[in-house]
Every structure is written in structure tokens, then in C-alpha cells.
Chains A and B, each alone.
Chain A
Amino acid sequence: MATYLEFIQQNEERDGVRFSWNVWPSSRLEATRMVVPLACLLTPLKERPDLPPVQYEPVLCSRPTCKAVLNPLCQVDYRAKLWACNFCFQRNQFPPAYTGISEVNQPAELMPQFSTIEYVVQRGPQTPLIFLYVVDTCLEEDDLQALKESLQMSLSLLPPDALVGLITFGRMVQVHELSCEGISKSYVFRGTKDLTAKQIQDMLGLTKSAMPMQQPRPAQAQEHSFISSRFLQPIHKIDMTLTDLLGELQRDPWPVTQGKRPLRSTGVALSIAVGLLEGTFPNTGARIMLFTGGPPTQGPGMVVGDELKVPIRSWHDIEKDNARFMKKATKHYEILANRTAANGHCIDIYACALDQTGLLEMKCCTNLTGGHMVMGDSFNTSLFKQTFQRIFSKDFNGDFRMAFGATLEVKTSRELKIAGVIGPCVSLNVKGPCVSENELGVAGTSQWKICGLDPTTTLGIYFEVVNQHNAPIPQGGRGAIQFVTQYQHSSTQRRIRVTTIARNWADAQSQLRHIEAAFDQEAAAVLMARLGVFRAESEEGPDVLRWLDRQLIRLCQKFGQYNKEDPSSFRLSDSFSLYPQFMFHLRRSPFLQVFNNSPDESSYYRHHFARQDLTQSLIMIQPILYSYSFQGPPEPVLLDSSSILADRILLMDTFFQIVIYLGETIAQWRKAGYQDMPEYENFKHLLQAPLDDAQEILQARFPMPRYINTEHGGSQARFLLSKVNPSQTHNNLFAWGQVMK
């Protein structure tokens, strides 16, 4: 076991891949009987400080339908300077540059430790990164002020050659021209009218080509660059202008009468932002960052009317089909998201409001483009400020932790086919021999586009074993999968990261033990959870739960050992032991339970669940609970009501929240001020320990979790109480009481 755990861990560290099964059942039939599909979690850009990129182009298989990248698994004939593709078995000549290779002089891509390798290629013009701020001005004064400060601050974090643009919106949408001096100039659009990309470009004067026809080419070219640069300028040029502009930003000047919501044209603003980039910088890395303080209330994409007396839709309304605007708005944002994705841009949404802001409708904007979604109560909170700041954090090389316009291509050896992907991506609709007809997630293709990603972005990739039962794979046979990720690095370089992995095949009938032992229950839980959440987007909640339950039962049936009619005899091997627990908490999680969550919150949670890596995902499924006491060092405890004890301090991390909970006694002690007495310094330390640990988590996590410090009986203790397994409920507590009487 240990070996498998190590193997898994090693693989994850090296390749950023976790498979649900690390030994693959060799036939289709057996594979389906395994219940948990053969799948993996791939973190394409996993940070690899130890992996310097190579500065040349990858060598590709010459078969047009294959084009797999030369990798350590390939058979190489050093004499003949030939190599055989391990996916299609095509024999390929090495390119001229490789004439010097030999067993002792191997290029990096042939070395086994470089199962993951990154190439830097010189392709196409290098355009600087583009950041387009789309800012809601219908905010409270202090909120707007805080937002302005954050934005101004962000300017200093951007690379100096990055292009920035600014669009503000309220009742109208203003696209600010940044190039002019003196008078600040902006193009204004009415917030109620949907415009096509062409119209937007016309109105912004981006399609001037008609007039200067007669003019010599150079002039035209110049003109073009001039025009497109009016709205997007290098930060080093207009740093001051933009800072001033942001400083002068007024609240939306249109009066809002009593009982009304401000008119907010989010839909049009986004549409214009998309249109603007589409017309000027298609297929280059760009981030549209939407900052909004409330729901869109007019125009296309409106989520709720401006009458305050009509509340924004709830799950209840949606179930009752009573959400008037939802379908239309969703459609609007979906179209936008698809256009954005097609252009290789991504959309971030930073929504800070006490009420919902329409994330349910807008979620596809982030989900399809790989953008961030951040939800907070106010722009004037550290949650937003630090989260926003963290977007611009840098890695060990001093590069931004963001990449753009990535294409992920998956190649499989012929026993496998690709069923689909779940994650922040869109299909590129590339059919191929390795595409399965069985669809899971975003399917029907072997290539996906991920417009925005960071080192933790993780995709769930599902496969199907297609090898027939009657065509056994020879002993020792291995299946291989290659992931090719082409992307624009934040340094604007074009890079290609290639990960090639191989796993052993095993006959499920004869070698079930092997397969069982190679089960990665954590990965499996997350992959199943992704499937469940993906289904939940389109299906009724109960159906999904029933499906999950059935899957769990079938798994236990398959791998559990038990005697019929004897529940206590049930046993699962170690490699499965935690899995049911994960499923239990998953059922209770906000990803599948919408009760007590607004539609926006559900969307928010699901958004993050679909892109975080395995560790974070597990935390989301089953929050971690640590217990601090005088009895010893902090220890993880069961997420169970029985863990709540009077003399403990609990630290719960649900990914979205960090809760520190002081037990009843501890709280009383603190109230009594023991921590301030020198003789009780240990108590002070005890109080401090979870705070320090919490800080550590807060430092690292994106987005910033909500930080809650509460105690027994505190109103916010509900965050903890709602998560724990209610093994002790009011009922049995009450029963106890009776007993005690």
C-alpha cells in the first residue's frame, strides 16, 4: 500500500496527475464494473520549480491523425535515428537537429524523469497581456472608494507593458479612451440595448477600414494600431492617467428612487468588453475583470427588475419556474462566454454585495473561460482586497501565476478513449479516433480550450476502456496517455507542456487485488464528485443524490467484503476505507444541497469545486476539523458533533470558510481573561495556536476564505454546526437529558 501511496504522490508531484485507478482493468466490461470510471485529475500547469523549460519545439509523430509528442515511452532506434510513436506505432525520422543523439546523448524528452516537459516555442507575435477592467459604479460610496483603491493598487502589480482598459457601467456603459490628454473621453452605450460585436466595433470606431481605403497600406496599419490602442494602453504610458481616471470615477449619477434598485447594465457592459477585445486582440491572452456590486437590473442579461419589492430569484422560485429573467439572462451570458472562449479571453467576476448578484446566470462566463469568480459582502473587506491582490501573485520565477489561451489535447493509446472533461474549459470539437461516444462532462472532442488557468487549475478527465474482453492485453502491457497543453505564459511566451504517463493493464478477474490496491480513493471521490456536480447543474438534486448513492452501493458491493444479512460484517480494504465517508459529506455539501444556499452561492461553490486541485477539493467535500487542547498537540478529529467539546478549540476549514470555535469552557476562560495572566500563558498559547494555523491557510488560499472566529453559543457557530455530522442531535441530546434526570 505504502508503495502505491508513494507512487501516487510521486506521480502527482511530477506530472500533476491523479488517476482514480492506477492499474487499469484491461477490458471494457471489467472497467464498467469497477463503478468508479477510469479518470484522472490533471493539473496542467502544476508548478514545477525543478522543471526548466526547454527552448525548442517538440518533435511530433508524423502521422497526421496522431501527432503525438516524442516522449520517454517511445521506442528509439539510435542508429537509424528513428523513433516509434507509442500511440500509433508510426515510425518517425528524427529531425535534422537530432542527428547527434545516442544512448548517452539523449534529448531531455527521452529521459524518464521528463515524463512532463515544457517547451518554449517562438510562434506568432508576442502581444502583451491585456487586462480590461469592467467596473460597476452603482455602489455605495465607501464600497466604490475601496474598489477604486484596489484597482489603483492593482495597476502597480501589473507588468509594465501590459495593456489595460477600463469600462465602467451603471445605467449606461462607458468605454474609456485612455490615450487622450486633457479631456478624458469615453464612449457611452445605453445599458438596455444588446449590440452585436460588429455594431460595438463600429460604434467604437474600430472598423475604420472603409474610409482610408485609398490610403497607402502603412497608413492604414498605423491607423489600426492607433485605434485599437485608444482603449487599451500599456500601463507604463497611462499609469497616471488611469490612476486619475479611477480617482475621479463618480458613482452612477442617475437618480435611484426609493424602493428601486439602481439600474445596472452588467449584461451590456460585458458584451461590450467582449466585443472590444474580440475586435482588437482576438486570440491573445486577455482578462476581462468584472467588478459588480449587485445584480444586473436592465437590458440583456438582467436578472431582476429594479423594483426592490420583487426579490431576486431563489431556488424556490427556480423550482417553481418562477424566475422570469433567468433563462434569458443565462442565454445571454452563455453566448458571451462562448464568444469570449472562442477568442481566447477569460472573464473574471468579482461580485461583492450582501444580496445575490446574478452569479447563477453569469457563472458560465467564468466557468467556460477559466476566469475567477469571487464572491464577497463588500469591496471594502479584506476578503475581496486580498483575494484580488492574490490574482497578481508571482511564482518563484517572478512570473504571474496565470496563463492564457491554453489548448489541452489528450492522446491515448488505442485501448482507451476519452469520454470527456469536467473543468473550466470549452470543447474545441476536434473529433478523432480516441474520442469516445460515451460522454462524460465536456465531451465529443480530444481538444479543449482553457482560456485562463493558473498553476492549481485542475481538470477532471474521464476515459473509457474500449479494449474488448476477448482481446486480452499481454502481461506487462501498459496503456499510455499524453496530455499536450499549449498556452501563453504570463511572460507572453508561447509554451507547450507535455505530460506522458503510462499505467499497467490488469485483468480484472484475475488481478482484482492489484487493481483494488491501486485505487486512489481521494482522486476517485473528487472525480465522482465532479461528475455529481456536473449532473447537478442540469438535473434535479434528488436524482443526483440517488445516482451517487447507487454508485456507492455498487462500489461497496463490488469491493466490500461482507456476509449477507450481517451489516456488522461489512469490511472495505484500506484503499477504499475513506471513500464512503467522502460520499457522505459530499451528499451534505453545498455542491449538491441547495437548501440554505442561494442560487448564487451554489454557483459560486460549484465554480470553485470544478477547478481546484485534489487537496482543496477534498477539503471542500469533507471539511477538516482540528482540535486544540491542553491534552496534546493539535489533532484532526472527526467532522462530527461529538468532536465539539467544552475544553477544546476547534479549527474548521471548509475551503470557503475558516472557523475557529472555542468550546464552552475555553470561552468562559477567555472571558475571564485568563489569557492575560502571566501564570496562564499556556492558555494564551492555546488560544493563539489555531489563529496562527488559520493565518497560514489564509495566506495560501485563493480565494480568501471567510474567516470566522466564534465560540460556543455564538451566532456564527452555525457555520460549524451545519457541517458536522449530527451524530448528536437535539433529539438524542434531549434524550440524554432525560436520562440524566
Chain B
Amino acid sequence: MNVNQSAPPVPPFGQPQPVYPGYHQSSYGGQPGPTAPHIPYGAYNGPVPGYQQTPPQGVSRAPPSSGPPPASTAQAACGQAAYAQLGQGDVQNGPSSTVQMQRLPGSQPFGSPLAPVVSQPAVLQPYGPPPTSAQVTAQLAGMQISGAAAPAPPPSGLGYGPPTSLASASGSFPNSGLYGSYPQGQAPPLSQTQGHPGVQPPQRSALPLASSFTPPSSGGPRMPSMTGPLLPGQGFGGPPVSQPNHVSSPPPQALPPGTQMTGAPGPPPPMHSPQQPGYQLQQNGSFGPARGPQPNYGSPYPGAPAFGSQPGPPQPLPPKRLDPDAIPSPQLNELPPQQKTRHRIDPDAIPSPIQVIEDDRNNRGSEPFVTGVRGQVPPLVTTNFLVKDQGNASPRYIRCTSYNIPCTSDMAKQAQVPLAAVIKPLARLPPEEASPYVVDHGESGPLRCNRCKAYMCPFMQFVEGGRRFQCCFCSCVNDVPPQYFQHLDHTGKRVDAYDRPELSLGSYEFLATVDYCKNNKFPSPPAFIFMIDVSYNAIRTGLVRLLCEELKSLLDFLPREGGAEESAVRVGFVTYNKVLHFYNVKSSLAQPQMMVVSDVADVFVPLLDGFLVNVNESRAVITSLLDQIPEMFADTRETETVFAPVIQAGMEALKAAECAGKLFLFHTSLPIAEAPGKLKNRDDRKLINTDKEKTLFQPQTGAYQTLAKECVAQGCCVDLFLFPNQYVDVATLSVVPQLTGGSVYKYACFQAENDQERFLSDLRRDVQKVVGFDAVMRVRTSTGIRAVDFFGAFYMSNTTDVELAGLDGDKTVTVEFKHDDRLNEESGALLQCALLYTSCAGQRRLRIHNLALNCCTQLADLYRNCETDTLINYMAKFAYRGVLNSPVKTVRDSLITQCAQILACYRKNCASPSSAGQLILPECMKLLPVYLNCVLKSDVLQPGAEVTTDDRAYVRQLVTSMDVAETNVFFYPRLLPLTKSPIESTTEPPAVRASEERLSSGDIYLLENGLNLFLWVGASVQQGVVQSLFSVASFSQITSGLSVLPVLDNPLSKKVRGLIDSLRAQRSRYMKLIVVKQEDKLEMLFKHFLVEDKSLSGGASYVDFLCHMHKEIRQLLS
């Protein structure tokens, strides 16, 4: 990103800069204070509660941010640093100084960013406020100008640069602020054009021009993409683009194309030094633009200051923020000296996920989240918080894209914000929170509305003295059965409301009566069947031996309910290669008996009694069996395997035993043996980026769908562990797990010695986790909206019931809602998710989650109550499903379009008026572009050369049932510096943004995304550190690709290992550690996860994307 940005930015900036300075300053000076900025910020703040707080926070933040301010000082530092800082700074500045800068069109964008930066000190707070603006106006314009934008950042960066250090802090703040600023910053870019053109003075006037320019510039470089911004980014084109744009105007000014160029591509740092002056100018310029905008921003920023207070005004302000350009100017003012060097958009000036996360953590992590109030936006998933259930379901169970939904479908259509809920019905709770109470209504079963069949919940209205109740979903009035009657108190509440979970809590369970059971018979306890591939591959890798050894002890940890002494789950064993081997492990036998079923064309279960057994009763036989399995097949030469018949057999076994259950399949190769479900190798990389690419994600044969359907009908959930050496067609093999609510685990090139920890850990967790079987989930809603689409691992035979053969605490279902009528602002919208399932002890239950949402007639309310993480979760799932039917490019484009529409709608309807060159983002969605960009460049949507078809299918499948926290970290990995904070500190080190620029070669970093874990070691890390972590003398002696850290008795080693352990504990899958050395070939792998950077596969950098997004938005607006 930097590169791109830098390049383009530079030139423009360069040019502008000179100008800018003046402008900026001037602008800043004037604008900041006066400008509306405050308002915008305020507005933003307003929206976000957090933000509101921001002021104070801001303050708190401010410090850091303020730190940044030093940015100016920092500026001197590095461009990069600067960026970061700038970003922050911008934000900060934005608020405070931003305002000033904003105006400068061209520079503005940047400026704005800068501005924020500038303000940073105060800024943070402002940012807080900015949020409002944050929503921000990241003046994309500037960004796009890419050149411009980029430059902008740099400048700010510069300024911030110093702040960098601060930046981090500020960075975090920036988030809130940054975002605000970002927008601005970005905006600047957009404005850049403007700015540039305008080069400062002219800029503004030019701004328009600039903008126009930008396009050209971008256009020039890549007209088509226009994405101009993107283009720039991409092209970095930016340089050219930006250049053109900027250049056009600025070039002359900016001049030294060279500089520009350098600056742009140029690693920010280098740029800086040389250009610094220029940069500063540029920055100014960029900022200028930004700054230019800044003035605008200024206004917004000003708002920022207001932020604290501003909450109210925010929206209007935001628009102003566009001016961020103006903001930059302020920065410029400050920065100029130092920062001027940079031309690019300062990455620090654009919204930082890290900052947002940190802010939320600080603001909301300390107090419990009380669910009593309707439509409250919960803390982010990255924040640790306690939940107190007071009538609405905990966000651990349900998260929504928006907690305030439009009353009408017109509004919804206009906003384009998907209305979706991410539901994790059986989510695991932290030990401090009580799991849902179980309510037993005896023979009559749970009380339900007669018409819509909704279950009794706290929102039901009791009337007529308690003799009747009105359904809160369909308004039907129902009689209260005599045994349930209770008097009402003076508020119309039942006297016993607080004695009954179903009247006072958001989540609770009912014991189901026999009417809710299959065949009107209470279910028997479920069974687990372990089905082990014993073909040559499985034996050779040591898998079978390892697995059998592990199972011996693992069987003691089958899930049990509550305080049960022993698990009710029965177990069975099957091994297979080309044929299936069932085992009779009846307790009365001295030795297990093996039964071979070779009729794979029409597989069946050869035995009933003795196949599924209680572990404790048959322990001796089972142990004997597990001892013998590896021996029996030790000399096997069978390489062919079957697959569908294995599942079929497991399913038939459960059917014969008349119970639900789970199959654990351990499979190694493409099933090529002659049998149903036989597959052929159809992996064809040539299909990538063609219309036929989708076939790679589609199953090869329909047989598996049919099979899955049967499995679902039987309540047979399939968990698949894959150990492929080569292509196994995950897309097809995962169909059944996917449709039955199972999980897929993939261990490519498995070797027992290297991968056993990861596999065993996953296996343990998978076997032990509590599962609900044979489940049906239904989501009921208030009249007016309706659940229309569902995403996740399940099967649906009709349009309303989600059927899950198995459902565990990790599985998530994303539900999309659409209007089919008007909603009432007063009564809000209610969701009730009812899950009927069989517990692992065989008890039939209903779990109910209720959630009340607000409804709004103002779009602003919608934008204020959105949750970007959830939104991304939805959009990723939507897109990942889309690849099944459309070319990947179409999917990507539609994502971008939707995002642009969302933001454009905001800009048009909610943001305060501002220059078109400014990018203004809603505070709640200021991370939308960065996250969306991560989705767009994920392996599924934009595969790199090293990504196999299987990997893509695997990831696609994984994401489908991820919850919000998982998608969050999956798309935007956490990058933790290990050596920056003092060893003594016990807290997790603050994360840094996922960009190469953030890495310093003197440090060690840990990166995780929920699936992978990397330890990146800088080339110039102190020897002492190397010694104490790796027990080798020097950097060069560290084994690249190491997967285990030596256990050493020193604080650093302990701390790092402790941190790794704790990270692993947070994720549902074990992350294998890979040690990556700087400049090593493995680093490519690692860099793939630095999602803010341009990716090798062509994915845009954050800055570029922001520019592109800005351009899109502007196109929509114009």
C-alpha cells in the first residue's frame, strides 16, 4: 500500500506541498477552529456512544494522539511512521487542527488526514468525535489521487511520523479519530485531485479540478479502474495516476516527478528523507489537498473537537470532514516542516482497525454489557466484556449488522446496508456467565402463540389482568392456560416475571415434550462413530497409530451434560480403505471382531448389537481394538479409498440404532476406488479467473448432496479430518460436513511428528465440545421483516427451517432479513431464534434467543448503530456463496459496489455537506473499506499462485460458519509485537496494523488469523533476544519454518510461549506456529497476511482501495 500510495502521492504532494504549507497552515489555522469540523465530529461521536465518550477518550487518547502531534516532530521521523501517525494524527488533527487543513482541496484530503493528525493531540478526542465525522469523511479523494492521497498520508505521516510512536497510541485512537481523519485523509486524496489541481490555493478551486484530475490521473493510469483510486493504488500507479492528477496540477509544483515517483512507490521512508521537504509540502500538498480539504475537514474536525460534545451534530459535520483536506492543512501547518516530505496518503491517517479495537476495549471492556435496553450496540467482538442478560440475547448468541433498522424497505434499499443477524445458538459462554436456564413446563410443553407459534418471551404482552397475552410478533391475542396464569402488577407486568426465565431473560431453554421428537419418541443418547482411513497413506504418515493412541484416552472426555458422571454418548469404530471394516466391541467379547463390508456400491451396517457401545463397559475391548488397528494394517498396500460409502455406512449405523450422532472421518486421499461418490482429479488452475472458475467450488457430483440430505434426516453430523498429500477435492468432500453442520479440518502433507500437536489438539476439542443433534432452527421476526436468507453449515428443505444434523458451540448461522412491510418505530423489531435440538445426553430441548432492535425513520440512525464486523461477516459469507454461481470477478465487483452504495448513501443523506473530494465514512463503518478489502483479496476471491484449489474450497467452507470474532481476525489478522513492550508486562502487547511498514527489523512479531500463527523475526533482532527465545547464537542460526519454540527458562521465552498458548486457547482451531525470518523465503507466506499491503496476487493495498472506494462513491454521488 505504502508504495502505491507513496508513489502517487509524492508527486502530487510534492507539488501541493509547497503550496500547501501555506494553505494548510492558513487553512488550518482558520478552518480548524472555525470550521464545522467540530460538528461533524460531534455528529459522529453522537452516533457512536463510544465516540461520544470519545471526547474523554479522546482525551485519554489524546495523549497518545497528542503524542502523535508530536508527530510533527515525529514527522521528521519516518514517512512510514509518519503514516501511521499521520493517520492517527490526521484523525486527531482532523478534529482539532484538521478543520483547518481540510479546506485545502488537493491537499485537503491529506491534509485532512493530517489535520486529524495534527489535532491528534487533542485529536484523539476529536477523533472520538470525529467518529461522527469519522464516519467520516476520509477524504478519499485525496487518497485516490492516490498520489495525492497517499502523499497526504505521508505528510501527515511525517508530521505524525514522530508521533509514530505515538502513532501507535494515537493510531489506536486514530481509529476512532483516525477513521474520522482517514476519511478525511482519504478524502484528501480525492480532493487531492482537487487539491493538486488547486495545488493549494488553486487547489480548492482546483479541487474540483483536482477531482476531475484525479479521475484523469487515475484514469490516466487506469481510467477504467477508476477505481481511480484503486488504480492509483494499484498502478500506483498511483504514481502516475496521482501524478497525472496531481501532477497535472501539482507536477509542476510537486515537481520532481522523480520525487513524486520515488515518494510514491518509494517506500515511504526513503521518500521521506529525500522528499521530506517536498513531502512536507506534499503533505501539505497532500495534506494540502487534504489540507485543502482540511479546511473542510477543519470544519469537520472542528467538529471533531466538538466530537466530545458533538454527538449530536456529527452527521452534518462529517460531510465537512470531507474537508479533511483542510485538516491536513492544519497538520501541514504543524507537519509541514517535518512531514512535508511525504506525498502519499498517510496510512496512519486512514482508519485503523487496531485503533478502533483498542478504543472499544478501553471504553467498553470494563463494564458489563447489560442487555435490557432495546437496540443497544454491543461492544466489539475483540473486546472482553461480561454480559448481563436482562431480556435480550447476549451478543455472544446474536449479533446484528445494525441494531436500528429502517422502518421501510425503501429506506433499507436506499441504504443498502444488509440487515442480518449472526446467530450462534449454542455459543460457549465464559465461566462467569450462566448458561441459559432450562424451563420445564411439563406435559403441556412450552407456551406458544397460537398463530405464529412464537415461544413465550419477555416481549409478550399480558393483558386482561393476565388472562391473555398478545404475541409480540404477530399481535395475536392468546389465552393464558390456567396453570400458567399469574396476576399483573401495576405496570402490567406479571408478578412472577422475574421468577420465570422465559419472561425475564433473552436466552433460555425449554424442555421439549414428546411432540417435538422424531416419530413421537424421546430420542436415545447420540453416538459418535470414528471412521478411520487405513490406506497406505494414512499408515505411512503415522496418522493411524497416532489417532488410535489418542483415542484411547480421548474417549474419557466425551461430552457430557451438566454434572453427569459419565457421558451418555456411545461410540463405534470403523476403518476403511477400499472396503469398510466395522468392529464389534461388545463388552462380553474377549477380543474385538472385525466385519468387512466390501459391497461398497450398496453399503450397509453389518451389525447392530456391539457396534455402538458405552465406553466404560467395553473399555477393555476398545483398548484392544485400538492397539490392534495400527498393527493389522501396518503392511497394507492399499492406496485406494472410498468416501461416500463410509458416510453412508455411518449414517446407516445411526439409523439402525435409532439415534442421532456424529461421524468423525479421518481421510487421506481422493476417493478413486470404484464406488458411489467416486471422484476424479479435476483440479485445473487454468480455470482461475474464467467463467468456469466457479466449478472449482462446486461439488463434482450430486451424490454427496443426496447423501447429506439423508444424513440430515437421520441427525447424522459429519466431521471431516483431511490429511491430503495432493488434491482431494475439498469442494466435494466437504459437502456432507457442510450440510450436516459438521466441521472440516485439513492438514496438508501431514506428518505425525510435525503435525501431531495441531491435529490432536483439534481432535480433542472437536470430540469434547458440546454438540446439539438433530436440530431445527427457526427465526421468527416481528411483522414487517422476514428472515429470507441463511448462511452457514446446515441444510434447508424449506425456506424457513434451518436443519442441522449437528450444531456445536462454534457454528454460526448468518440470517438475512428483508422487509415485507413497514416496521413500527415504537415497537421496534423483534427476533426470536428457536433451536430445537437433542442434547448430548439425549434430552430434547428448545433453546430460545430473543433480541429486540430499534427501528428508525432516519437513515442516520441506521448508520449510527451498525456493526462493521458483523457486516463483514455477512458480506464475506454472501460473497463466498456467490462464487458458486458467478465468476469471482463479478462477486468482487458487486461487493465493492454494495460497499460504495452504503457509503454513498451515508454521504448523501447523513453526512454534513462537504466537498465532493472528501471521503466521509460513518463512524460505525469506517473500517468497512479496510475489512472489505481484506475480504476481496482473500484466497477465495483473489487467489495467489501458491493457493491451491483445495485451500480455497477449504477456506470458503470454513468462513461459511464462522462467527463474527472469527471472521474479524481471519480477514484482518492480529499482528503483535513481542519485543516492544517490557517483558514484565503481563498484558497482551497492543497489536499493530498488518502492514510491512509496521515491522521493524529489530523486533519479533506474532501474527495470527485464527488459522495460522507466525512468529516473524526481524533480521536485526538483538542477539540476546534470539538467544533467549531460540537458544541459538544468532539470527542466522534460527531454523526457518520452525514450528516449536524451545522451552527455555527465561522471562522472554516464557512470555512468548505463554502468549502463543493463550492465543491458541482463544481460537476454535489449533494454530500451528511457523517461525519466519525476515528476508527468508518463507516470508512470502507471512506477507500474505499483511493485509494492508498490496498483495502478490494483485489485491489492493488499503490505501489504494480506499482511494478506489472513494472514487466509486463519488461516481455514485455525481
Q: Which residues of A contact B (CB under 8 A)?
A: 172, 174, 177, 180, 182-190, 193, 195, 199, 202-205, 211, 248, 250, 253-255
Judged by a CB distance under 8 angstroms, whether B757 is at the interface is no
Contact indicator per residue, chain B 566-597, by CB within 8 Å of chain A (1) or not (0): 00000000000001011100000111111111
A204 to B596, CA, bound (A): 9
Instruction: Say yes or no: B598 contacts A172, CB within 8 Å.
Output: no
Q: Which residues of chain B are near A190, meaning CB under 8 Å?
A: 599, 602, 604
Instruction: Say yes or no: B598 contacts A205, CB within 8 Å.
Output: yes
Q: Which residues of B contact A (CB under 8 A)?
A: 579, 581-583, 589-599, 602, 604, 606-610, 624-625, 628, 631-632, 637
Instruction: Say yes or no: A183 contacts B592, CB within 8 Å.
Output: yes
Instruction: Say yes or no: A204 contacts B593, CB within 8 Å.
Output: no
Contact of B596 among A188, A199, A250, A255 (CB under 8 A): A188
Instruction: Say yes or no: A183 contacts B598, CB within 8 Å.
Output: no
Shortest CB distance A209–B (Å): 14
Q: Which residues of chain B are near A211, meaning CB under 8 Å?
A: 637
Instruction: Say yes or no: B595 contacts A193, CB within 8 Å.
Output: no
Q: Which residues of chain A are near B591, meaning CB under 8 Å?
A: 182-184
Q: Which residues of chain A are near B582, meaning CB under 8 Å?
A: 188
Q: Which residues of chain B are near A188, meaning CB under 8 Å?
A: 582, 595-597, 606-607
Beyond the given A183-B632, A188-B607, please list 15 additional residue pairs across the A-B interface where CB-CB is below 8 A. Answer: A172-B607, A183-B591, A183-B628, A185-B596, A186-B595, A186-B596, A188-B582, A188-B596, A188-B606, A190-B599, A193-B599, A199-B599, A204-B598, A253-B607, A253-B609
Q: Which residues of chain A are near B608, meaning CB under 8 Å?
A: 253-255
Instruction: Say yes or no: B595 contacts A203, CB within 8 Å.
Output: no
Contact of B606 among A172, A203, A205 (CB under 8 A): A172
Q: Which residues of chain A are near B594, meaning CB under 8 Å?
A: 183-186
Q: Which residues of chain B are near A174, meaning CB under 8 Å?
A: 595, 606
Q: Which residues of chain A are near B637, meaning CB under 8 Å?
A: 211
Task: Indicate the member of A174, A183, A205 with the most B CB atoms within 10 Å.
Answer: A183
A172 to B625, CA, bound (A): 23
Q: Which residue of A lies closest to B590 (CB)?
A: A248
Instruction: Say yes or no: B595 contacts A183, CB within 8 Å.
Output: no
Q: Which residues of chain A are near B595, meaning CB under 8 Å?
A: 174, 185-188
Shortest CB distance B624–A (Å): 8
Q: Which residues of chain A are near B583, meaning CB under 8 Å?
A: 183
A182 to B607, CA, bound (A): 19
Q: Which residues of chain A are near B599, meaning CB under 8 Å?
A: 189-190, 193, 195, 199, 203
Task: Indicate the member of B582, B589, B594, B625 with the most A CB atoms within 10 Å.
Answer: B594
Shortest CB distance B524–A (Å): 14
Q: Which residues of chain A are near B598, meaning CB under 8 Å?
A: 187, 189, 202-205
Q: Which residues of chain A are near B610, meaning CB under 8 Å?
A: 253
Instruction: Say yes or no: A187 contacts B596, CB within 8 Å.
Output: yes
Q: Which residue of B lies closest to A175 (CB)?
A: B596
Closest 10 CB pairs of A and B: A203-B598, A188-B606, A253-B609, A187-B596, A185-B594, A188-B595, A190-B604, A184-B593, A183-B594, A188-B597
A253 to B593, CA, bound (A): 14
Q: Which residue of B lies closest to A185 (CB)?
A: B594
A622 to B589, CA, bound (A): 54
Q: Which residue of B lies closest to A255 (CB)?
A: B608
Q: Which residues of chain A are near B589, meaning CB under 8 Å?
A: 248
A-B contact count (CB 8 A): 70
A186 to B610, CA, bound (A): 15
Q: Which residues of chain B are near A248, meaning CB under 8 Å?
A: 589-590, 593
Q: Which residues of chain B are near A193, meaning CB under 8 Å?
A: 599, 602
Shortest CB distance B632–A (Å): 7
Q: Which residues of chain A are near B604, meaning CB under 8 Å?
A: 172, 190
A199 to B579, CA, bound (A): 13
A254 to B608, CA, bound (A): 6
A182 to B589, CA, bound (A): 12
Q: Which residues of chain A are near B624, meaning CB under 8 Å?
A: 182
Q: Which residue of B lies closest to A187 (CB)?
A: B596
A176 to B833, CA, bound (A): 52
Q: Which residues of chain B are near A186, meaning CB under 8 Å?
A: 593-596
Q: List 30 A-B contacts (CB under 8 A).
A: A172-B606, A174-B606, A177-B596, A180-B632, A182-B631, A182-B632, A183-B583, A183-B628, A183-B632, A184-B591, A184-B594, A185-B593, A186-B593, A186-B594, A186-B595, A188-B595, A188-B596, A190-B599, A199-B599, A202-B598, A203-B598, A204-B598, A205-B579, A205-B598, A211-B637, A248-B590, A248-B593, A253-B607, A253-B609, A254-B608
A195 to B597, CA, bound (A): 14
A377 to B596, CA, bound (A): 34
Q: Which residue of B lies closest to A184 (CB)?
A: B593
Shortest CB distance A727–B (Å): 60
Shortest CB distance A230–B (Å): 11
Q: Which residues of chain A are near B602, meaning CB under 8 Å?
A: 190, 193
Shortest CB distance B600–A (Å): 8
Shortest CB distance B657–A (Å): 11
Shortest CB distance B570–A (Å): 15
Instruction: Say yes or no: B625 contacts A183, CB within 8 Å.
Output: yes
Instruction: Say yes or no: A183 contacts B607, CB within 8 Å.
Output: no
Q: Which residue of A lies closest to B610 (CB)?
A: A253
A255 to B608, CA, bound (A): 9
Q: Which residues of chain A are near B590, meaning CB under 8 Å?
A: 248
Q: Which residues of chain A are near B581, meaning CB under 8 Å?
A: 185
Shortest CB distance A213–B (Å): 13
Q: Which residues of chain B are near A182, meaning CB under 8 Å?
A: 591, 624, 628, 631-632
Q: Which residue of B lies closest to A193 (CB)?
A: B602
Q: Which residue of A lies closest to B598 (CB)?
A: A203
Shortest CB distance B531–A (Å): 16
Shortest CB distance B1071–A (Å): 38
A184 to B595, CA, bound (A): 8
Q: Which residue of B lies closest to A195 (CB)?
A: B599
A160 to B582, CA, bound (A): 32
A177 to B598, CA, bound (A): 14
Q: Which residue of A lies closest to B596 (CB)?
A: A187
Q: Which residue of A lies closest to B656 (CB)?
A: A254
Q: Which residues of chain A are near B592, meaning CB under 8 Å?
A: 183
Q: Which residues of chain A are near B607, meaning CB under 8 Å?
A: 172, 188, 253
Q: Which residue of B lies closest to A212 (CB)?
A: B637
Q: Which residues of chain A are near B579, meaning CB under 8 Å?
A: 203, 205
A177 to B602, CA, bound (A): 22
Shortest CB distance B1099–A (Å): 47
Shortest CB distance A154–B (Å): 23
A190 to B595, CA, bound (A): 12
A205 to B591, CA, bound (A): 24
Q: Which residues of chain B are near A204, meaning CB under 8 Å?
A: 598
A204 to B598, CA, bound (A): 7
Shortest CB distance B446–A (Å): 34
Q: Which residue of A lies closest to B625 (CB)?
A: A183
Q: Which residues of chain A are near B625, meaning CB under 8 Å?
A: 183
Q: Which residue of B lies closest to A188 (CB)?
A: B606
Q: Which residues of chain B are near A199, meaning CB under 8 Å?
A: 599
Q: Which residues of chain B are near A203, meaning CB under 8 Å?
A: 579, 598-599
A180 to B592, CA, bound (A): 12
Shortest CB distance B578–A (Å): 9
A183 to B590, CA, bound (A): 9
Shortest CB distance A180–B (Å): 8
Shortest CB distance A183–B (Å): 5
Shortest CB distance A219–B (Å): 11
Q: Which residue of B lies closest to A190 (CB)?
A: B604
Q: Which residue of B lies closest to A254 (CB)?
A: B608
Task: Indicate the member of B602, B608, B637 with the most A CB atoms within 10 Å.
Answer: B608
A205 to B602, CA, bound (A): 17
Q: Which residues of chain A are near B596, meaning CB under 8 Å?
A: 177, 185-188
A188 to B609, CA, bound (A): 15
A174 to B605, CA, bound (A): 12
A706 to B599, CA, bound (A): 43
A205 to B592, CA, bound (A): 22
Q: Which residue of B lies closest to A253 (CB)?
A: B609
A248 to B591, CA, bound (A): 10
A202 to B595, CA, bound (A): 16
Q: Which residues of chain B are near A195, meaning CB under 8 Å?
A: 599
